[in-house]
Amino acid sequence: MKCNLLSLAALSPAAVWASCVPAPDHSCRLSKPELSCSSAAQPALVDSCCVETFGGLVLSTQFWDTYTGLESAGQLLPKNSFTLHGLWPDFCNGSFTQYCDLSRQYDPHPSPNTTTGTASGTPVPPYHGPTVDTFLAPFGATGAALLRWMNKFWIAQNQPNTELWAHEFSKHATCFSTFSESCFSKFQLQKHTDLLEFFTVTAEYFKRLPTYDWLAAKGITPSNTTSYSLSDIQGALAARHGGVPFIGCSGPKYNETAAGKGSKDAGRTALTEVWYYHHVFGPVQAGKATPVGADINGGSTSTCAKADKAVWYYERSKGSEK
């Protein structure tokens, strides 16, 4: 059976996925959409192409960058929007793995360079073939529309966008049970359908999480003169998402700044990332996500300073937006 994605360009990722699942021999439409990380979401009990049984804690992650480093090449940030980082399959306990299928390794600069991130892990060889954007060309209008969107909202820093996309697919997509190569190859789907589908679904999750708008609605906007409190940032986003997101900061530690001199607060002070956590019913591709908090396993929910008005949400650099 062949899946003609070209005729499905106007559909949502969930509709594209549903239209490309063959029946009756292996139809996820006939499978009960068990919730990931539940007792029912076990490989021995369900079809792992139809229920996420490996990376059941799904993170949709975003960047707040102030420059790309490749402005001269036309690689610019979108106005009034965070940018997409990726879609990640953590284990239900909050740990994770990476580069789970080296036959689909397209990352020219693997990071880490072993499957475990340690010297004892399997080496991840750098990829030297065509860039992943070329893999979308055979999908015609569908691939072209997706590529235009990615070049607007899925933006890398200090590297071409294609390298970020390749990294996200190779490191993370290959570790979802529902994006396993066998879920596609058994139906003789067009080569790189898995990559097209992962990019499309990752974009769909991002679109549901308009971080910039949610913050702006609470009067939290980029500024080089006004700082904010982590509790206000996190609270504004939790109220809209339904679970406490992880807020990532970089830059100086608060107790290394003039404002924080003498403080024990060693949190960082420049807002850079937001991670939203979910469990999912059925396959990740169906988009039936249930928000959960970043604290679901008792871990940290931020690397930012907790002191009042200690976090800077900086404006974008001049010439870095389009």
Question: Can you give the residue ranges of every domain in the chain?
Answer: 5-49+98-207
- 27 pLDDT more than 90: no
pLDDT of residue 23: 34
pLDDT of residue 32: 87
Q: How confident is the model at residue 36 (pLDDT cuts 50, 70, 90)?
A: very high
Which residue among 34, 52, 85, 279 is the active-site one? 85
- 61 pLDDT more than 70: yes
172 tagged catalytic: yes
**How confident is the model over 164-179, as a mean pLDDT?**
97
- 5 pLDDT more than 70: no
pLDDT one-digit tens code per residue, 38-48: 999 999 999 99
Residue 206 contacts residue 313 (beta carbons within 8 Å): no
Report the chain's mean pLDDT, rounded to a whole number.
92
- 58 pLDDT more than 70: yes
26 tagged catalytic: no
Three-class DSSP category at 266: coil
pLDDT one-digit tens code per residue, 80-136: 999 999 999 999 999 999 999 999 999 999 999 999 999 999 999 999 999 999 999
What values do phi and psi take at 195, rounded to 5? -70, -45
Which residues contact residue 230 at a Cβ distance below 8 angstroms, ignoring those fewer than 6 apart? 247, 267, 302, 304, 305, 306, 310, 311
pLDDT of residue 19: 47
**How confident is the model over 254-264, as a mean pLDDT?**
97
85 tagged catalytic: yes
Query: Phi-psi bin for 285: left (phi > 0), alpha (psi -120 to 50), beta?
Result: alpha
Which residue among 167, 172, 241, 279 is the active-site one? 172
Q: For the whole model, what pTM was predicted?
A: 0.92
pLDDT of residue 165: 98
